[in-house]
C-alpha cells in the first residue's frame, strides 16, 4: 500500500501554506455556488448532485493514477468521506435556504474548535496554551464578523451548519489518526464511490432528471454545481487530505478560519460591501490561524 511520507519539521512549509490559501479561496466561494444551485434544485438535490458528480469524476482519476485500493478499510474510508463531505453537503444546502452565504461562511469557522474538542477527548490531542489563545482569537474574529453581518438571522437553520462543522472536525481527526497510509486519491475515490451510489438513487427518487433537462438550469445552477463538485470537492478534498497527512488535523481544520475572509472576497466580487467589522474580523482570524499552527 502506498504511504504518504510525513514532511520533516520546517520542510515544504511554503507548499503547506500555498495549499492552505488555495483551499480557503476555493471553499470560500463554495457558499455562493451552493446558493446558485438552490435556484433550480432542492437542498437534498444540491447535496446529492454534488456528491454524485464528485464520485463520477473521481473514478477516472483513480484508474489513471493506479494507486492501490485500501483493502480492509472501506468502512473507515466511507466514514471519513461521510463525515467530511456527505452529511455536510446536505446540511449546508439546507442551511442556505435561510442563511446568507457570508453568514454560513462565518459559522463554518467553528470547524477547528470541534476538531480540537474531538482530538482532546477522543484522539489523544494535548491541549496547549497556544491552542486556547488561537481558539479565543478565532472566536473574537467570528464574533466581529457576525456583528458586521447585517443579514444575520438567529434561527434553527444555524444548527445545520454547526452540526456540519462537528462532522468536519471528526473527519479531520479520523484522517490524521487512521488514514496516514492511504493515498488521498484512494481515500476520496473509495469513499465518494460508496456515497455516490446512494446519491444517484436520491436524485432519481426526487425527480432531479426533469430539472436537469430544463434549459434554464444549465444557465445558472448546473455550471455552479459542476464547479462545486469538480473544484471545491474533487480537487480540494485530495489536496486537503494530503495537507492533513503532512501537518495536523488542527492546522488543516484551521482553514475554516480563513474561509470567511475568502467568502467576503467572493461576496465583494458579487457586489457585496465589505465593512470595517469584516476587515477587523479578518485580522483576528489570520492571527488565530498562525497561533494554532505553532508547534
- In tens, the pLDDT along 200-240 reads 999 999 988 888 877 777 878 899 999 999 999 888 888 88
Q: In this structure, is residue 115 part of a structural domain?
A: yes
49, 76, 206 from 209: Cα distances, Å: 11, 32, 9
- Name the residue range of residue 267's domain: 13-293
How would residue 10 be classed by pLDDT, with cut points 50, 70 and 90? low
Q: Give residue 295's pLDDT.
A: 60
What is the DSSP-derived secondary structure letter of residue 125? P
Which cell numbers hold the place of 138? Answer: 478565532
Q: Rounded to the nearest 5°, which phi and psi values hold at 182?
A: -110, 125
How do residues 33-85 score in pLDDT, each as one tens digit? 998 999 989 999 999 999 999 999 988 888 888 888 777 788 888 899 899 98
Top pLDDT among 1 and 191 is at: 191
How do residues 15-28 score in pLDDT, each as one tens digit? 888 888 899 889 88
pLDDT over 50 (residue 183): yes
The whole-angstrom distance between residue 232's C-alpha and the CA centroid of its chain comes to 8
* Residue 168: closest CA among 207, 111, 220: 111
* Residue 160: closest CA among 282, 250, 46, 258: 46
Q: Give residue 293's pLDDT.
A: 65
**Domain count of the chain?**
1
Q: In this structure, is residue 131 part of a structural domain?
A: yes
Q: In this structure, is residue 147 part of a structural domain?
A: yes
Q: Give residue 4's pLDDT.
A: 45
Q: In this structure, is residue 82 part of a structural domain?
A: yes
pLDDT over 50 (residue 5): no
Top pLDDT among 199 and 116 is at: 199
Q: In this structure, is residue 218 part of a structural domain?
A: yes
Q: In this structure, is residue 212 part of a structural domain?
A: yes
Q: In this structure, is residue 2 part of a structural domain?
A: no
How do residues 256-286 score in pLDDT, each as one tens digit? 677 877 887 787 777 766 677 777 877 887 7
How would residue 2 be classed by pLDDT, with cut points 50, 70 and 90? very low
How do residues 119-159 score in pLDDT, each as one tens digit? 988 888 888 888 888 888 888 877 776 676 555 554 567 78
Question: Helices (H), strands (E): how many in the chain?
Answer: 15, 0
Q: In this structure, is residue 43 part of a structural domain?
A: yes
Dihedral (C-alpha) 132, 137, 141, 143: value to the nearest 10 degrees?
Answer: 60
Which cell numbers hold the place of 168? Answer: 468536519
Amino acid at each position: 500500500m502506498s504511504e504518504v511520507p510525513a514532511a520533516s519539521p520546517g520542510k515544504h512549509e511554503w507548499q503547506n501554506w500555498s495549499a492552505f490559501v488555495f483551499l480557503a479561496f476555493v471553499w470560500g466561494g463554495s457558499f455562493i455556488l451552493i446558493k446558485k444551485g438552490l435556484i433550480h434544485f432542492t437542498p437534498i438535490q444540491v447535496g446529492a448532485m454534488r456528491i454524485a458528480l464528485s464520485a463520477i469524476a473521481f473514478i477516472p482519476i483513480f484508474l489513471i493514477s493506479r494507486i492501490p485500493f485500501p483493502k480492509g478499510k472501506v468502512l473507515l474510508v466511507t466514514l471519513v468521506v461521510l463525515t467530511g463531505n456527505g452529511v455536510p453537503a446536505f446540511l449546508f444546502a439546507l442551511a442556505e435556504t435561510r442563511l446568507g452565504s457570508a453568514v454560513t461562511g462565518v459559522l463554518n469557522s467553528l470547524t477547528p474548535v470541534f476538531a480540537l474538542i474531538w482530538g482532546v477527548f477522543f484522539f489523544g490531542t494535548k491541549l496547549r496554551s497556544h491552542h486556547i489563545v488561537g481558539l479565543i482569537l478565532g472566536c473574537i474574529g467570528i464574533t466581529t464578523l457576525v456583528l458586521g453581518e447585517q443579514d444575520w438571522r438567529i434561527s434553527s437553520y444555524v444548527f445545520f451548519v454547526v452540526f456540519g462543522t462537528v462532522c468536519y472536525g471528526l473527519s479531520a481527526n479520523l484522517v490524521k489518526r487512521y488514514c496516514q497510509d492511504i493515498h488521498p486519491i484512494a481515500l476520496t475515490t473509495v469513499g465518494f464511490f460508496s456515497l455516490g451510489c446512494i446519491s444517484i438513487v436520491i436524485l432519481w427518487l426526487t425527480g432531479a432528471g426533469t430539472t436537469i433537462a430544463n434549459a434554464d438550469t444549465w444557465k445558472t445552477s448546473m455550471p455552479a454545481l459542476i464547479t462545486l463538485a469538480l473544484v471545491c470537492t474533487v480537487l480540494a478534498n485530495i489536496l486537503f487530505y494530503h495537507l492533513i497527512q503532512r501537518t495536523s488535523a488542527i492546522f488543516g481544520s484551521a482553514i475554516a478560519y480563513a474561509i470567511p475572509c475568502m467568502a467576503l472576497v467572493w461576496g465583494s466580487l458579487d457586489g457585496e460591501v465589505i465593512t470595517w467589522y469584516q476587515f477587523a474580523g479578518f485580522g483576528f482570524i489570520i492571527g488565530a490561524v498562525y497561533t494554532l499552527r505553532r508547534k
